[in-house]
């Protein structure tokens, strides 16, 4: 096993969409994992509002992480936290992490998020949502310095919004 992590490109979009579906289908609690429709992923990758990091074992895509740059778009979690315009413009949504079931337990979610975070400017406000029962993901981001800001109904079930300010 020789896993490498790199910034994804538009050419990785279809493999990432397949990985997301495969990971969701293998989950015992599918409500924990909200997926944007494939056409939305394609559109956001094409227009640059989504950035992607991928983990590969040789040529095989085995993990992925995307972040969103929502600006003032209505999908920004900053609105859920009553952010003002200046704060909204600093939001980076740490959106979706997916690791193929065969590669779990290797710390790939954390490594992917850390790689992405290295390219985010200081002063950014990182926000993400996690289902409260998804202990693995929740503990993973709490260990990375995120704090739970709010519990609310989102994506058809309950979610925490977590925050980390980059200094």
pLDDT of the residue at 29:
82
115-148: pLDDT as tens digits? 999 999 999 999 999 999 999 899 999 999 999 9
Decide if 63 contacts 55 (C-beta within 8 A). Answer: yes
Across the range 27-56, mean pLDDT stands at: 92
Q: What is the DSSP letter of 58?
A: T
Domains and CATH numbers, the chain: 3-165 (3.40.630.30)
pTM score, whole prediction: 0.93
Across the range 11-16, mean pLDDT stands at: 97
**Both tokens of residue 20?**
């997301």
Across the range 26-31, mean pLDDT stands at: 82
Task: Count CB neighbours of 108 within 10 A.
Answer: 21
Residue 157 forms beta bridges with which residues?
154
Examine the pLDDT at 28 and tell me if it is beyond 90.
Answer: no
């Amino acid at each position: 096993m020789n896993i490498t992590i790199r910034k994804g490109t538009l050419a990785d979009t279809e493999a990432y969409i397949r990985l997301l579906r495969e990971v969701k289908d293998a989950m015992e609690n599918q409500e924990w994992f909200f997926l944007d429709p494939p056409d939305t992923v394609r559109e956001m990758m094409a227009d640059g509002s989504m950035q992607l990091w991928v983990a590969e074992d040789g040529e095989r895509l085995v993990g992925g992480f995307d972040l969103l740059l929502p600006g003032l778009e209505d999908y920004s979690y900053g609105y859920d936290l009553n952010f003002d315009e200046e704060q909204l413009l600093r939001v980076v949504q740490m959106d979706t992490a997916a690791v193929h079931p065969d590669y779990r337990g290797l710390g790939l979610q954390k490594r992917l998020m850390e790689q992405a975070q290295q390219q985010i400017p200081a002063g950014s406000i990182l926000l993400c949502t996690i289902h409260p029962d998804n202990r693995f993901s929740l503990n993973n981001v709490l260990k990375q310095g995120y704090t739970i800001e709010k519990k609310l109904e989102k994506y058809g079930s309950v979610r925490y919004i977590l925050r980390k300010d980059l200094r």
